[in-house]
Amino acid sequence: MDQAELYVLKQNKKLRCGFTTGSCAAAAAKAGTVMLLSGELCTEIAIATPKGIVTTMKVLEIQRDDHQVTCAVKKNSGDDPDVTDGILIFATVAKAQEQAIRVDGGTGVGRVTKPGLACPVGEAAINPVPRSMIIAEAEKVCNALGYEGGLTITISVPEGEAVARKTFNPRLGIVGGISILGTSGMVEPMSEKALIDTVRLEMNQQKEKGCRHLLVCPGNYGETFARGTLGLQNTLVQCSNYIGEMLDFTVELGFDSLLLIGHAGKLVKLAAGIMNTHSRYADCRMEVIAVHAALHGASREIVQEIMRCLTAPEAVAVLDRYGLRNDVFASIMLKINDYVHYRLQNKVKAGVILYTNEQGILGKTPEADEIINKLKRMETA
């Protein structure tokens, strides 16, 4: 299947899908392996994505000699706004003495310098799923051609360092280039208006069914937590990053109350009044936690330690070491409560719950438990 044939329909709009940097790297690596081991030119290559989609990509910029092959695949993000769209992802494949396939990053692929990410410190920022894809596609070629030796595969992105400046990689401690990413292998286009319209549509459906108390999460992780930890089986609306729009629709549609449940790494931003939690709009997670820690007596050194953290769970662990977690999150939740009710014009009761998978519930706003009980009564009504 050619990637131009893949699309999704959102609000009656036909939007083209694309492929991740991981898929492009795997395709380039497979093509390079074919040419190295067979000696034949390869100008198109097919791979299977983890999502089960088989796609054919054009192979570009081919360079061959007796020892190695270098080639590229052009990143196509479809209709998704993506800073990596159109860049070339290269793979250089060479035979190795050891009987293993080794994958590393070259020019323009970031290198991890801080802990807490998917790749260990010191390694190229090629995430686990793309790394597995690269190895799996190369192994298919080795098996088909009867090659039992080893390979070294180096992924490079000539434009990667420049493109990475437009991402959060520098702040995350990934230096020198972009990350090679993707869990499904595919990029599904994100039309913001279509997504926001879908949120309102789902909320309106609940209202039409007679629902007065709304359960909302940003995504699948929050839903899993609501079901597994809180035991809430109510119909749930996913609002993605569009917290502000969701709150506006809650008022417009006339719900009595709302319970919002989300990971602290996303919803802690509400304590700064940020109502779109996507990282490209704002990332104040550590700033929020650090300020509230300072308000509760944290020293300059503790604040600096929090500001060096990469993730919310890591920052919570710092608070735990100094016995600050409960006070800090009680303070954060009060601020979240203020901003949420201001957006709701004080017309709707609202509760917010923050959690992490590692540490469980970190905080609740004052009305959260009351609304949980209302939701549970709805289940049995």
Which domains can be identified in the chain, with CATH numbers?
A: 3-187 (3.30.2110.10), 192-380 (no CATH)
Token pair of 177, please? 């280039």
Residue 3: per-residue pLDDT: 44
Work out whether strand 177-178 and strand 150-156 pair parallel, antiparallel, or are unpaired.
unpaired
- What count of other Cβ atoms lies within 10 Å of the Cβ of residue 34? 24
Per-residue pLDDT 10s for the chain (381 aa) are: 444 467 666 556 677 788 999 999 999 999 999 999 999 999 999 999 998 889 999 999 999 998 999 999 999 987 777 889 999 999 999 999 898 999 999 999 999 998 777 899 999 999 999 999 999 999 999 999 999 999 999 999 999 999 999 887 887 789 999 999 988 888 777 657 767 888 898 898 888 889 999 999 998 888 889 999 999 988 899 999 999 999 999 999 999 999 999 999 999 999 999 999 988 788 899 999 999 999 999 999 999 999 999 999 999 999 999 999 999 999 999 999 999 999 999 999 999 999 999 999 999 999 999 999 999 988 776
Q: What share of the chain is helix, strand, coil (3-state, %, to 5)?
A: 40, 25, 35
Angle at 189 between CA 13 and CA 180, to 5 degrees: 170
- Listed in sequence order, the residues at least 6 apart from 122 whose beta carbon sits closer than 8 Å to its beta carbon are 111, 112, 113
Residue 103: per-residue pLDDT: 98
Residue with tokens 């303070």: 331
Length of the chain measured in residues = 381
Residue 10: per-residue pLDDT: 57
Residue 231: per-residue pLDDT: 92
Backbone angles phi, psi at 258, to 5 degrees: -145, 135
SS3 for 221? helix
Q: At what angle do helices 285-295 and 312-321 cross, to 10 degrees?
A: 20
The continuous run of DSSP H or E covering 22 comes out as: helix 21-38
Token pair of 70, please? 């270098």
End-to-end CA distance of the chain: 49
Residue with tokens 């990332």: 283
For CA atoms 113, 116, 118, 119, the dihedral sign is: positive
Q: At what angle do helices 312-321 and 300-307 cross, to 10 degrees?
A: 160
Is residue 352 a contact partner of residue 366, using CB atoms and an 8 Å limit?
Answer: no
Angle at 251 between CA 246 and CA 253, to 5 degrees: 90
Backbone angles phi, psi at 194, to 5 degrees: -65, -40
**What strands lie across the sheet with 150-156, from one edge to the other?**
60-64, 68-74, 88-96, 150-156, 101-105
Angle at 222 between CA 216 and CA 227, to 5 degrees: 90
- Listed in sequence order, the residues at least 6 apart from 305 whose beta carbon sits closer than 8 Å to its beta carbon are 318
Distance, in Å, from the CA atom of 160 to the CA atom of 170, rounded to the nearest integer, reads: 12
Backbone angles phi, psi at 157, to 5 degrees: -140, 95
- What count of other Cβ atoms lies within 10 Å of the Cβ of residue 58? 15
**Helices assigned H by DSSP within 241-367:** 243-253, 264-267, 285-295, 300-307, 312-321, 325-343
The continuous run of DSSP H or E covering 133 comes out as: helix 128-145
Single-letter amino acid code for the residue at 111: R
Is 273 exposed, middle or buried, given 0-12, 13-18 or 19+ CB atoms closer than 10 A? middle
